[in-house]
Amino acid sequence: MKNNIILLFSAAIAIALMSVSCKKDDSVAKPVITFTEVGHDNSKHAMRGDDMHLEAEILAEGLIKRIDVEIHKEDGSYEIEKSYTEGKYIGVKNVEFHEHIDIPAEAPLGEYHLHFTVTDKKGQTTLAETHIEVVEFDEHEHHDE
């Protein structure tokens, strides 16, 4: 009888411990995205026929699985997409994203939305949004960094 009680007691502890660890796994925070520089000097401008400098701080407790950048005209008539599924950002928890996105020469001028999506290895997704303006190419405004 005494043995049975001990057995029951240890089973109860085991179940309690198991549920604690499961709870911990499920509660990984969603990725957090902070834009640090959109366009050179945070101008939020991109020249067509050039590339747009984009920087963001990413914190993904569940580790980064993929990053998707979508830049589309406000009326949806034109879209530029770029995805990062391998390389230096993937499998990382905290990183400074810094990329140059090609803006085709034929991209129409005007206001665009920029959607920046980070998916972690738990399948959780965070979307950050900002606006940019695509302007005419000007070689004096061209930067390399």
* Residue 119: count of CB within 10 angstroms of its CB: 20
Q: How is residue 104 written in tokens?
A: 């085709």
- Fill in the per-residue mask, 17 to 46: x = in contact with Zn ion (CB under 5 A), - = not in contact: ------------------------------
**69 contacts Zn ion (rule: CB under 5 A):** no
**113 contacts Zn ion (rule: CB under 5 A):** yes
**73 contacts Zn ion (rule: CB under 5 A):** no
CB 32 within 8 A of CB 59: yes
Torsions phi, psi for 30 (to 5 deg): -65, 155
**53 contacts Zn ion (rule: CB under 5 A):** yes
Distance CA 74, CA 142 (A): 25
Q: Minimal distance in Å, beta carbon 145 to Zn ion?
A: 5
C-beta of 55 vs 61, nearer to Zn ion:
55
Cα–chain center distance at 6: 50
Stretch that binds Zn ion, among 23-31, 58-66, 77-85, 113-121 (CB under 5 A): 113-121
Neighbouring-strand partners of residue 113: 72, 131
Judged by the rule CB under 5 A, the positions of this chain that interact with Zn ion are: 53, 113, 145
